[in-house]
Amino acid sequence: MKFTLPIILCLVLNTSLYAQRDREPVKLKLENDTLKVVDDRYREDQFYISITYNLLGNKPEGVEQSGFSTGYHLGFIRDMPLNRRRNLALGLGLGVSSNSYNNTLLISESNAEYIYSVIDERDIDYDKNKFTNYLIEVPFEFRWRTSTATDYNFWRIYTGFKMGYIVYNSSKFESASGDIRLSQIDDINRIQYGLTLSVGYANISFHVYYALNNVFDASALVESTGEPVDMNAIKIGLMFYIL
């Protein structure tokens, strides 16, 4: 990873310099007897807002999701065109994200150790059980679109990779017999990364994120079976791009 990042940054820098050197000057275009300025140097720099439904893949036996698990994502992506037409580009950004997962895996603590147990809803009456992660994220995208210097409504397919760092995490269990609240759980992997895909038209796109690593590290085991908690995050929702 320490060798890959400098290579990516060098590629992005070279691409950006090439795009700036290859730009055409601003043109004047006559439309309906009105002189209009057309900027052939345009970029699709964008703020993005996303709302996702969060799923857990590879759940241990007996673990189910309950309720609606949501994710909220906000950030900015710098656009770096690759060709003269500017319909191919790289995107590099920075954002923040909040993700909750309602499920039946109870996280508790005893003698400074975390205990993971599966809630049997037939035996335990509870109101809420979830864990939440708050991340700083760096998306990196390869971008294809049908945009032009004068067309702001266009088709797009953006695919790429997203790296995230969990700055804070928490878990919450609420029941009539008592509550369990934990924060900064050591067994949660601070680094999260996965593949992304956004497909859409105009400002709205269908968005998918598939994590390539687990939410919890190898030390997290289900108490009753010893099975690893090898769950990964899958996020499906809508992405809104704002120029």
- Predicted confidence band at 15 (pLDDT cuts at 50, 70, 90)? very low
Residue 186 within any structural domain of the chain: yes
Asked if residue 19 is part of any domain, the answer here is no
Which CATH number covers residue 170? 2.40.160
User: How much is the pLDDT for 35?
Assistant: 55
**Residue 168 above 70 pLDDT?**
yes
Is residue 5 very low, low, confident or very high in pLDDT (cuts 50, 70, 90)?
Answer: very low
Name the band, by pLDDT with cuts 50, 70 and 90, for residue 46: confident
State the total domains in the chain.
1
Quote the domain boundaries for residue 211. Answer: 41-242
- Give the integer Cα–Cα distance in Å for 210 and 194: 5
Q: Is the pLDDT of residue 18 over 50?
A: no
pLDDT in tens, 60-69: 999 999 888 9
What is the per-residue pLDDT across 71-119, written as a single tens digit (0 to 9) for each? 999 999 999 999 988 899 999 999 999 999 999 999 999 988 999 999 9
**Angle at the Cα of 74 from the Cα atoms of 204 and 84, rounded to 5 degrees:** 60
Is residue 90 included in any domain, yes or no? Answer: yes
CA angle (207, 102, 197) in 5-degree steps = 10
What's the CA gap between 134 and 123, in Å, rounded? 32
**Quick one: pLDDT band at residue 4, thresholds 50, 70, 90?**
very low
* Structure-model confidence comparison of residues 52 and 22, the more confident one: 52
Would 5 be classed as within a structural domain?
A: no
Residue 232 belongs to some domain of the structure: yes
DSSP assigned state of 20:
H
Cut 0.85: pTM above it? no
Strand partners, 182: 171
Write the pLDDT tens digit of every residue in 131-143: 999 999 999 999 9
Neighbouring C-beta atoms of residue 110, cutoff 10 Å = 7
